[in-house]
Structures are given as structure tokens and as C-alpha cells.
Amino acid sequence: MTAALVCAALVAVGGCAGAAVQPEAQAAAAAAAAREPVPILMYHVIGDTPADARLPALFVSPEDFAAQIAGLAEAGYHGVTMQQVHNSWRRGAKLPRRPVVLSFDDGSEGQVRHALPRLRERGWPGVLNLTWRFLADMGGASAVDALVRAGWEIDSHSLNHPDLTKLPAKELRRELRESRTRIKRAFGSRAANFFAYPSGRYDARVKRAVRAAGYLGATSGKAGFAKPTADPFALARIQVGGGTTAAQLLRRLRDLRP
């Protein structure tokens, strides 16, 4: 009788230790995968850079963006949301192999015109960190509704994009709470569970206020992979600047991977 048949016979009576260990090992591997660091890419404007752009590094051309998404897909990455990452880290929910969050700050028309179709081709969601004051720049609520229908997550980037560290307590609370309330009312109760600090600026007081406002976590401007062991209200991101090629982006992900 072969070893496999012997083991099968023993399993039937509960006597094959190797077979019993295998599911445990698989469960352990799955649990470890659910606690893996995840890259959160930070984009701003998807569009050609105007000659008078004040911050040209924040503009990624539609062509470069399309190449980056193709490169990520070819390298085995899969787009996910902040909520999916949170559920994996905190609840053991399953993520696809090589998850990546594609987050877009502020709110601009190119995020709907250019980013949405490229991600939709892959069946990937994006994450819009919406500054409420910029809603009209995107094309209004109907434009954001198109993102929601495509599976995007809508999170908060404040009402007016101020330096939160310089605000008095009352104004800080308003920027955090009212932006969350408006986004939830407009785009669904599952929206605005996460926050992105405007210009990446925060301190201990701001973090406490973000937590008190009901958010589950927040992303910063610190470069690196977001880690499950890190402060959930100071998660790292990786900014994608203008002129970045797909090869350069993949190389940066390799260099920053813990």
C-alpha cells in the first residue's frame, strides 16, 4: 500500500498527523498573508501638466497612468480599497495576491475622465480622498456617483484642505466631522471611513481628533508600505509624481517593500 493510501486510511480513523497538520499550516499561511504590508499609491491630478502649473509634480499624464496600471497588472498586482485592507488586517478577510491601493487626493475632473476607465478595464476600484470644496471641480456629485458605481471607495480629505495642525479645536472638528457627514449623506453610509491628511500634515492632536470623528484610519505623506503593525492613523503612502514610468514605479515598490 502506498504512503498516500496509508495516510488516507489513517485519516479515516483520525490517525494521520501529517494530514491533520496541513490544514493548520494552510490556515497559518492565510493568517500571515492577511497581515502583509500593502502599498498605498498616492495620485493627485491625472492629466497633462499646464504650462502655469504651480505644482507640476502632482500631474501624471493619462498616458503614463495607463502604462503604470498595465505595468502593475503585469507584475501581478490587484487593486483594493482601504476598507478591504482594514478588514484583512483587523478581521482576517482575504485579499488578492499583491494588493495595491490606488488613492487619488483632492478631487479633479481627470480622475473621472482618465483614471476611472483605466481601472474599470481591470475591474479594480480606486479610492477618492475627496476635499468637499473641490466636488464641483470633479463634475459634481454625479461624477462621484460614477466612481461609486464602479466600486470606488470615497473617503475624506477635509472640507477645505487646510493645514489641520494650525486650526483651533472647533474648526478642526468641523473639517473632520462635517466632511465625513456630507460624504456619507451624498454617497452612502459606507463612505468616509478613512481620512487622508491634507498635504500630509498632522500631529498628535490632529490624530486624536480624526479618531474621535469616527474614522477607522488615516493616511499620511510618509513614504513606504502601509503596515498592519503601524499606527492606523499614520499609514504610509507612496506618491506617484509626474513623469514616472511604469518601470520606475515597479522598481520603487520593490525598493520600499519591507
On whether residue 133 sits in a domain, the answer given is yes
Residue 28 in domain: no
Predicted pLDDT of residue 2: 45
Domain CATH code at residue 189: 3.20.20.370
Choice between 2 and 241, residue whose per-residue pLDDT is larger: 241
For residue 59, is pLDDT > 50? yes
Question: Average pLDDT in the 134-145 region?
Answer: 96
Which pLDDT band holds residue 129 (cuts at 50, 70, 90)?
Answer: very high
Query: Does residue 83 fall inside a structural domain?
Result: yes
- Interstrand relation of 78-80 and 45-46 (parallel, antiparallel or unpaired): unpaired
- Among 104, 97, 94, 98, residue whose Cα is nearest residue 125: 104
Contact in structure between 198 and 175 (CB atoms under 8 Å): no
In a domain? residue 145: yes
Q: Considering the domain boundaries, does residue 21 fall inside one?
A: no
Residue 61 has pLDDT above 60, yes or no: yes
Spatial distance between the Cα atoms of 35 and 227, rounded to a whole number of angstroms: 8
Cα–Cα distance measured from residue 41 to residue 225, given in angstroms and rounded to the nearest whole number? 9
Task: Compute the mean pLDDT over every residue in the chain, rounded to the nearest whole number.
Answer: 90
Q: Is residue 10 part of a domain?
A: no
Residue 13 in domain: no
Please check whether residue 166 lies inside any domain of the structure.
yes
Q: How many CB atoms lie within 10 A of CB 162?
A: 16
Cut 0.75: pTM above it = yes
Confidence of residue 253 (pLDDT cuts 50, 70, 90): very high
Domain range holding 199? 38-50+62-256
- The pLDDT of residue 83: 98
Q: pLDDT-derived band of residue 22, with 50, 70 and 90 as boundaries?
A: low
The pLDDT value recorded for residue 53 is 85
Can you spell out the DSSP letters for 178-200?
HHHHHHHHHH-TTS--EEE-GGG
Q: What is the pLDDT of residue 14?
A: 43
pLDDT over 90 percentage in the chain:
83
Number of independent structural domains in the chain: 1
